[in-house]
Amino acid sequence: MATLTGLSAEERKKRKKRKQIMKVVIPLAILVLLAGLVVGIHFVNLYNEQKRLEELAAQTTAAPKKVELVTLSKDDLEEITVISADSVSGEEKTFIRTGEARDWKWKNNTDLDLNKTLINGLADNVAQITSINTVSDDLESNSDVYGLKDPAHTIKIRTTEGEEIEIYVGSKSPSGTYYFMAVKGDNHIYMLGPTLYSYLVRELAEYIDLEKFPELEEQQFYSLSVQKPGETEPVCGYFNPEDLLQVDRMALSLWYFASETSGRYDSMDYEKGRSLSEALTGLSYSGCVRAMPTEEELKEFGLKDGAAKIVLTYKKYGIEVQPDGSLPFERKQISLTVGKETSYNDMTYYYAQLDGTGPVFRILKKGGLNFVMESFTKENMMNLLPTQIGIANVDRIKLIYKSKEHDFEIRRETTKDEKGNEKTVERFFGDGKEFEEASFRSFYSMLAALSANQYLAPEKVKKDAEVILDYEFFTNYGENETKHIRLLEYDDNASQLEVNGEILYLVNRTERKKIESNIENVLSALE
């Protein structure tokens, strides 16, 4: 039987089921449609972004449309000024041509030499500024977009004809390779290549060619002093033999600590002295950090009251040989003030300045300067073989041991043969008794080789100490040239060693016992 709607029960059931399905399917379809729209929009945006990036990149990757903006020769240039907004030091780079040779100099200090490679590279590139492409013909409207409203760099050029040109460099291109550029009086925006830009970003200090400590041979040194805060006088001096007090030349060393206060010259270890000269001629310079420092900057660098001052006096030889075969020379002096430590590229340096004026630069701490600043002290550098003197220069030895005086003598007789050749015969005596040569030389070597263990600072010397051993070498250098050695009591472990009236060293107990034993053996043979 039919229902009121004309539908059977079965049909109503199917219809109801379809409605339930539609309630689920339609929202799903809408969701799918919306998702498709979102994805589509996303891909459209990606496409447009890619296209935009490709268009921007094309500005620097398309075939170059070269535009010659400045066409000059290097000789046409008279002055170059580079003003950089990002300059760390704030020092303006203005370079001018000077002198007959028309060399490039820094305008603010023409006494300074410039790094020829850098300044010539800058001049070459400035003389021929070209663009690889024209980006816009409306500078006025787009200056802010391309970083030219407040340019990072300004290049001012003055030619020998008086022409003045200004170039402005703005921000970096999207490719990251080129830079946007404009020329005063031109409403176009151009693309500047990276080569000239690499010269613009350099600090003025990089253009300065540093003066350095001269590289010297040992015979060129006159004197060298190292002054550190708290010291009343320099701690080192170097002198040629003819400048030394006569007695000091017997120390077999050309290096000495000189005291203007006491007038004393204390012998330095020869090899350590040479290492000092090598340290100074091997300093590692790391470039200029300020071309013309202010007083305030010198304080910041620690150069107003430096950590050390090194003064070197040396011979600068000419090239024309004199009639006697020697080279002419003049005496020159240079000083190095050392300031604070600083780190740069994971290395440690000292700030430094030559002659108290001019540029501030860095010197690597490791190596030569570290040796001067930390290892170079009188205690470390003193010659610990102070009694050394060659037997050929000694005629007599006076020895006092246990209150008894003994005399040892070397008698030399020189004869000539028929051909005029000289021959010297030596004979050795102790208290008038002739010595066998080998025994005497052994005894002499023991006296001359008495070694100290450490330098004894003057304030630690014990006055009026008991004398253990006293001996004096009388030389054939001259009538009054002697070397007088005394070994005196100090404590249970060491003795004081006095050389020519000055107590300089400590000798340990072992060394003292050894020399006493040897002397007693020799003296017993004389009895």
* Mean pLDDT of the residues in the chain: 83
Give the number of domains in the chain.
3
Q: Are residues 236 and 370 in the same domain?
A: yes
Residues 370 and 504 in one domain: no
Residue type, 293: P
Pair (369, 408) in one structural domain:
no
pLDDT of residue 413: 92
Better pLDDT: 117 or 13: 117
Indicate whether 516 belongs to any domain.
yes
pLDDT of the residue at 434: 93
How far, in Å, CA of 523 to CA of 527, rounded?
7
What is residue 441's predicted lDDT score, i.e. its pLDDT? Answer: 93
Domain, as residue range, for 296: 218-381
Q: What is the CATH number of the domain that holds 172?
A: 2.60.40
Assign 447 to helix, strand or coil: helix
Angstrom distance (rounded) from CA 390 to CA 424: 17
Tell me, yes or no, whether 32 lies in a domain. no
Same domain, residue pair 189 and 236: no
Three-state DSSP class for residue 189: strand
Do 181 and 229 sit in the same domain of this protein? no
Does the pLDDT of residue 237 top 80, yes or no? no
Q: Please identify, among 349, 381, 413, the residue that sits at the C-terminal boundary of a domain.
A: 381
Same domain, 433 and 375: no
Same domain, 368 and 396: no
Tell me what the mean pLDDT of segment 391-395 comes to.
Answer: 90
User: Which pLDDT score is estimated for 49?
Assistant: 47
186 has pLDDT over 70: yes
Residues 302 and 261 in one domain: yes
Q: Could you tell me which of 364, 360, 357, 232 has the C-alpha nearest to residue 297?
A: 360
Enter the tokens of residue 450: 């008495």
407 in the same domain as 323 = no
Q: At what angle do helices 509-526 and 437-448 cross, to 10 degrees?
A: 150
One-letter identity of residue 23: K
Residues 122 and 202 in one domain: yes
pLDDT at 11: 61
Residue type, 68: E
In this model, does residue 165 exceed pLDDT 60?
yes
pLDDT for residue 7 is more than 50 = no
pTM, entire model: 0.67
Comparing 17 with 331, which gets the higher pLDDT?
331
**Token duo for residue 148:** 């030219």
**Within a domain: 23:** no
Higher pLDDT, 129 or 60: 129
- Structure-block tokens of residue 100: 């007959």
User: Where among 381, 410, 437 does a domain terminate?
Assistant: 381
Q: What's the pLDDT at 2?
A: 35
Q: What 3 state SS string does 296-365 have?
A: HHHHHCCCCCCCEEEEEEEEEECCCCCCCCCCCEEEEEEEEEEEEEEEECCEEEEEEEECCCCCEEEEEH
Chosen domain end from 182, 207, 232:
207
Helices marked H in 201-269: 204-207
Residues 454-498: tens digit of each pLDDT:
988 888 999 999 999 999 999 887 767 788 999 999 999 999 999
227, 354: one domain: yes
| Residue 304 and residue 186 share a domain | no
Which of helix, strand or coil describes residue 457?
coil
